[in-house]
Amino acid sequence: MKLLRRPSAMPLAALVTISWLAACQEQSGGPEQVVADAIERHGGDIFDRVHMAWDFRGVPFEVLQEDGRFRFQRTVTDSLGQATVEVMENEGSWVEEDGARVDLDPRQRARLETAVNSVVYFGFLPFRLDDPPVRHRDLGTAELDGESYRKIEVTFEQEGGGSDWEDRFIYWFHAEDHTLDYLAYREAADVETTRFRRAVNRREVGGLVVQDYENYTGDPDVGDVAEYDRLFEAGDLRLVSMVEFDDLQVHPLGASGSP
């Protein structure tokens, strides 16, 4: 049988401290609320019904999303000028050559989906961080560049989490502005990769708050990605690339599905 302590056994100062901590926790919210606030800050429901287009490292991308229906595509042009449209839709993935659909084997489909979906996923974070397979864990607070952040870990359930469900992400959300300012990730692939990204060039396009990223790595590579904030503050990271969305267009869809 569990014994209950008498309330009078607890000092008044301790009661005040516990009440203060509970009030702070209620005000700041749990990790799911932190993510929800960030999604709302970055544009909220606009992302569910939208048509977007941009260039990423010289390759045109296009996204259409409408109440759970989606089409992601990129157009790849070879050295002879032959364009191939790589398509992901609810029903599956394929390529289009000269307007004709060409089906792919499972390995080709997986490669296409990884290449296309990863650009869309990373480019429009924090959207999709509230998907059903996502698991959130509160890692407390952190300070970066003199600003206060909520530090949230994201992992995935195997069921519905995709082929890369073992990846691990850390997100730093601004405590007051609710923006996603930094992120780190570990890809659990054959060759494990970790990166740290800092948001830059934040702007509002078509009602969405979008941003590019500076892409950093540790040297040697970082084992625990949750330590990336400390290494960034110490100046121990190396900039390896930029993640930039060029000529981004965002058109929210009306009730009829038209911009």
pLDDT digits (tens, 9 = 90+) for 161-172: 555 657 899 999
Name the more confident of 3 and 221: 221
Quick one: pLDDT at residue 166? Answer: 76
Q: Looking at domain 31-252, which CATH architecture does it have?
A: Clam (2.50)
Please identify which residue in the block is written with the tokens 């082929």.
Answer: 163
Cis peptide before 126 (omega within 30 of 0): yes
pTM score of the predicted model: 0.83
Which residues, in sequence order, are CB contacts of 52 under 8 Å at separation 6+? 62, 63, 64, 206, 248, 249, 250, 251
Average pLDDT for 221-245 = 92
Q: Which of 22-31, 78-87, 97-106, 187-196 has the lowest mean pLDDT?
A: 22-31
Q: What is the layout of strands, in order, in the sheet containing 246-252?
A: 100-102, 92-97, 83-89, 69-77, 59-66, 49-56, 246-252
Using the predicted structure, report yes or no on whether residue 1 has a pLDDT greater than 50.
Answer: no
196: part of which helix (H) or strand (E)? strand 193-205
Chain segment 33-79, per-residue pLDDT in tens: 999 999 999 999 999 999 999 999 999 999 999 999 999 999 999 98
Identify the DSSP state of 229.
H
CB distance 54 to 71 below 8 Å = no
Using the predicted structure, report yes or no on whether residue 126 has a pLDDT greater than 50.
Answer: yes
> How sure is the predictor about 2, in pLDDT bands with cuts at 50, 70 and 90?
very low
Using the predicted structure, report yes or no on whether residue 3 has a pLDDT greater than 50.
Answer: no
Name the more confident of 204 and 1: 204
3-class SS at 209? strand
User: Chain-wide mean pLDDT for the chain?
Assistant: 86
Provide the token pair at 96: 């289009």
**Angstrom distance (rounded) from CA 18 to CA 210:** 39
Quick one: pLDDT at residue 14? Answer: 39
Phi and psi, residue 3, nearest 5°: -85, 140
Using the predicted structure, report yes or no on whether residue 6 has a pLDDT greater than 60.
Answer: no
CB distance 97 to 104 below 8 Å = no
Around Cβ 200, how many Cβ atoms within 10 Å?
A: 13
Average pLDDT for 232-252 = 96
Chain segment 153-208, per-residue pLDDT in tens: 999 886 655 556 578 999 999 999 999 999 999 876 655 678 999 999 999 999 99
> How sure is the predictor about 122, in pLDDT bands with cuts at 50, 70 and 90?
very high
Quick one: pLDDT at residue 258? Answer: 57
Using the predicted structure, report yes or no on whether residue 219 has a pLDDT greater than 80.
Answer: no
Alpha carbon dihedral 167, 173, 178, 181, in 10-degree steps, equals: -90
Which residues, in sequence order, are CB contacts of 240 under 8 Å at separation 6+? 195, 215, 216, 217
Around Cβ 20, how many Cβ atoms within 10 Å?
A: 10
End-to-end CA distance of the chain: 64
CB distance 233 to 144 below 8 Å = yes
Quick one: pLDDT at residue 11? Answer: 41
Average pLDDT for 239-258 = 87
Say which amino acid occupies 207.
Answer: G
**Angstrom distance (rounded) from CA 134 to CA 227:** 21
Average pLDDT for 98-107 = 93
Average pLDDT for 219-241 = 90
Identify the DSSP state of 3.
P
